[in-house]
Amino acid sequence: MDTKFVFALSLAFAVAFGAACSDGEEETPSDAGDAEVQEDVEGQGDVDGPDAQTPAEPETVRVATFNTSLYREEAGQLLEDLADPEQEQPAQIAEIIQINRPDILLVNELDYYDDHQAAELFAENFLGVDQGDQEAIEYPYYYAFESNTGVASGEDLDGNGVVGTEEGTEDYANDAFGYGLFPGQYAFGVFSKYPLATDEARTFQTFLWDDMPNNLIPDGFYSDDAIEIFRLSSKNHVDLPIDVGDHRLHLLASHPTPPAFDGPEQRNVRRNQDEIRLWHDYIRPGEADYLYDDDGVEGGLDEDAYFVIVGDLNSDPNDSDENGAVGRLLDDSRTTDPKPESEGGQIAGETSGGANDNHEGEHRHDTSQWHPDVGNMRVDYAIPSSNLTVEDSAVFWPPPEEDYADLVTATDHRLVWVDVTLGD
């Protein structure tokens, strides 16, 4: 998050508090341990495992989410940066990942390019290279998803009377389906040591906000034409099945819009809450009948499925959850809140001043460090289903005097991980 973003966010929070899947391509599994993009493999794995009569062995995996700020202000700039292994910021991000060594990782704010170019460059030039005193980490499977950010809507979505048509301008970004100066800015990708069943992934990029029952669309703000085409997801919502041994784990990935940049209508606060609600409905039997994915398949997740909800949800259950969406998700009987924490987060919250002094949430659970007018918050999550066994969890935020504390300045978010066991 750059300075302008933080400043705008601080003003917007003050107001608020006051009142893809890519197009299918032939699947390429990895060869000889080299990381390769994984796309559309047929027969990647059965939901019930290769032999439903044989009990599957338990598998423990580390699932992480990390808003890496690997976005750039101009189209193509990230590819140039990632082509240079000497770039400091992506090297710091890679070192953090190597320290924590997740098996499955969601990377938020990774600009999207065709053929997964950014993901490939990051995997090869940074993750696959020793950083600092850390060993390289190999992800045989990775996949970048298309995003609504920077995709022109053709409508005046910010209500300023102008329809932005020129990429790279604020008018264009504000009228895109998700804020973005160019298509794919702020997108996300997944890196995994386990096979990705991308041919069975479900995406909800084009699901319309108005098709969610009891939605929070502000009355009278958007035109009828805008409501008819307005997509709920500001980036994408992706259910990505991953084959972990003989088990199937569903990674439910998203990055809802920040509840900021609003007027009194609080359109982004409301959209953030409904974006979070989508996953809450998706995991509950009988609540997801209205949902349809980009292939027209309706309904939600099977009741007995293993899942982990991951992403920068841009909502703190205590200090920014305007309508309680993330709180309800964390408290649901279908989920377990692992409550990851860090010593560094506690120290930062106690010493940063500003809004932190009035926050109700415990700072040890914070995952972001923003301008003091907004304060530090818990907004990044790895939320496992209650049928998984939580072994451990943490926020990577070392205290100032400890090793690697300087690395966290590479982004305004912290890596969050949870260790879960699938099977008895």
State how far the Cα of 32 lies from the Cα of 219, in Å rounded to an integer: 56
d(CA 273, CA 372): 23
Question: Contact, 69 vs 412, CB < 8 A?
Answer: yes
Residue-wise pLDDT for 196-254, tens only, equals 999 999 999 999 999 999 999 999 999 999 999 999 999 999 999 999 999 999 999 99
What is the three-class DSSP state of 93? helix
pLDDT digits (tens, 9 = 90+) for 375-408: 999 999 999 999 999 999 999 999 999 999 999 9
| Alpha helix (H) residue ranges in 20-87 | 77-82
Give which of 380, 383, 254 is closest to 315, Cα–Cα: 380
- pLDDT one-digit tens code per residue, 117-149: 999 999 999 999 999 999 999 999 999 999 999
Write phi, then psi, for 239 (nearest 5 degrees). Answer: -105, 105
> pLDDT digit string (tens) for 269-296?
999 999 999 999 999 989 999 999 999 9
- pLDDT 10s digits, 26-54: 333 333 333 445 544 333 333 333 444 56
The sign of the torsion formed by the CA atoms of 115, 116, 120, 121 equals positive
CA 401 – CA 184 distance, rounded (Å): 38
- Higher-confidence position of 164 and 4: 164
Element (H or E) spanning 419, and its range?
strand 416-422
DSSP 152: B
Residues contacting residue 226 through CB under 8 Å, at least 6 positions apart: 153, 155, 156, 157
The number of helices, as runs of H, and strands, as runs of E, in the chain is 9, 12
Has residue 8 got a pLDDT over 50?
no
Q: What single-letter amino acid sits at 271?
A: R
| Mean pLDDT over the full length of the chain | 90
**Assigned CATH class of 3-149+184-422:** alpha beta
Q: How far is CA 6 from the centre of its chain?
A: 19
Could you tell me the pTM of the whole model? 0.89
Give percent of the chain with pLDDT exceeding 90: 85
Helix (H) / strand (E) containing 21: none
DSSP string, 288-350: -TT-B-TTS-BS---TT-EEEEEEE----TTTT-TTSHHHHHHHSTTB-------HHHHHHHH
Q: Are 70 and 78 in contact (CB under 8 A)?
A: yes
66 to 189, 222, 255, 305: CA distances (angstroms): 10, 33, 11, 24
Q: Are 218 and 393 in contact (CB under 8 A)?
A: no
Amino acid at 213: P
pLDDT at 38: 55
pLDDT at 424: 76
**Alpha-carbon separation of residue 269 from 12, 160, 323, 325 (angstroms):** 10, 18, 9, 11
Nearest residue to 378 (alpha-carbon basis) of 335, 414, 333: 414
Of 419, 418, 417, 395, the C-alpha closest to 408 is: 395
**Per-domain residue ranges of the chain:** 3-149+184-422
Distance CA 365, CA 377 (A): 8
Q: Select from 282, 378, 379 the least CA-distant residue to 332.
A: 282
